[in-house]
Structure 1
């Protein structure tokens, strides 16, 4: 292989690694925000875990965060939690998720 081929392979590997890392962080973030929302709804134990899984699955519907935000807004409307609070919690959960994933590597 030439040096160019080696560089190309290295870039492809880095891209794949970064995409995998981004997916793991997003899934962990969704689980964390799902657990937070579950507590807001009064769920605990297995019910909270099931609700968190439903948030992770909701994020697979379309690209971006809007599918998760829509679900959380709809679910938490009765609890008096608005979209701004949900987006703030998503940001906090993203930071914590990244920290947890990086610590586990």
Structure 2
């Protein structure tokens, strides 16, 4: 007698990616930083001077979190004074596409409730 195999197995939530999305959306500056990078503003001093209310301390915390997740990379140039730039990684580009889709979904949800 054959045992029937189930068609589906229990699916669990994507724990690490869900944590990443929550941490990035939880940081109110991450999305602003992505906009700056998309416009070619990739040096910390320029980021702070282009965004009202953004401090160097908060920027550095946000950049560090994005680097830890692999969304951004930090490039240090061997110059005096030191020069640092931030760029979106290949993984980061994929992640940003997902954030764009979440934004579209939110727009649809908001439109349904108006």
Q: One fold, TM greater than 0.5?
A: no
Q: Which has the higher contact order (CA 8 A, sep 6+)?
A: 1
Q: Larger radius of gyration, structure 1 or 2?
A: 2
- Specify which structure has the higher proportion of helix: 1
- Specify which structure has the higher proportion of strand: 2
Q: What TM bracket, shorter-length normalisation?
A: 0.3 to 0.5
